[in-house]
Structure 1
């Protein structure tokens, strides 16, 4: 054949749907990373800078491989989709080996199963399309070599920017500050006990500390939903009644190096504490003052 044709090879509906899904997922991921570039936290910004190029590259090679029929890009897109297909199984392995599978809601397993089926489908479609391009090249087919960006592609690029902004802008708008004194539950980035109020919190890279007022029944229901990390949940550390005075720190303000605290003694209520190396989860409920004190450090 030794010629470039418009009809051979041509992606079918499955190839197109897989490509669109991967491109959209990449754009959504980009949209979630963009706000991190402007968050005044060095570690968060640095992490975003490291991760941001990869979804950009994936979106570009997926488009070039499927819609511009570029064999090299199709190969990279296929290998990338193999990695995406493996991710849900890696998550499954982490959950099962952590020993915390019993504490995870059924909805999580449904989402993980859906993600597995979706990524496997995208991998198979990308693999089939790459194989078709490879066979075509073997038959002396020469792919389109034009590097001119068409009007349609320009419009698609504008649409891609709109998708990224559509994800990023609400995140920026709803991003809460890393510290606050005596705010409502709605003004915080946390899932708190039902009816909680008068919240004070402090966030840092790898950790969180907050305190709020909540009824005891609401606190217990919140605790039963799962507190901490997979690692701490797997330890099956119980929530114990406080039988002797237990000390904690009440956040009363903030300094450049962290929160300013005053000592507080809790004589009645509940306590939970788990730690391993430099990681810990601490939960303390003061029954007399109806105050919850929570602290977690994951690094």
Structure 2
């Protein structure tokens, strides 16, 4: 059984007379002890999807459709009290910016102990003892003295490690990592990635890892999903997606990526992603695609299954189809 199965998930934000489709029909699966990497430009729906899995996008102005099944339980059918018992205990999240995710008014120790006391029913003394062990586990020196510090007294790398410690405090089955290495230098980034891998090896948790950095995603993931305009446009193993991409958007992302020893200018993706409140009726990438044809402009492409486990949502996917299109100017 899959650890989590997302089926035709949609998230629509309503504001006055406008509706913005942030997530539009996403279907994904993740097995226990495996890592799914998600890449795509800003605004493609990656973070909104993670927050929806965690139940953080619920509001009177949000319409959520589809299914999210976690260990056989339907998350979308849970009330807020039921969700609160899962959030932080069975499913946890590392947020993008630890400076804003951590509360500046409370010490690191208080914020760690709050999670432990709520979900593991530990006493205050037991929680502080456990919190010290967690800080040591994530590589923070002098963990006892760090418990009394506030977030602003720590470096960016230290704050990110604190966020990881909070996220894994209750040994969750699923860890959602939203740009956990953003704004970190290369050395600290490597340390954080190694830490996440070791924690996964020790606990067997599944990880959904979101990042703009294709190299980082490739180093940590078993499978990769590429998102664009709220949809998954390509999914498969790291080898399939990065070495044999079939969607024009995936190819463009790879070509726009900085690689060691490269010369000349980066090949930028022309144009802008469509606005979520003005999505086209056809393929959302058609206006930026160099091989788009008339059918791309008129109809949303379905999913084409290439080799084992490799799926592409593109009219040109499949042997001999890419040459059948005339370029749309």
* Shared fold, TM over 0.5: no
If you compute each CA radius of gyration, which structure gives the higher value, 1 or 2? 1
TM-score, structure 2 length as denominator?
0.22
TM-score, structure 1 length as denominator?
0.24
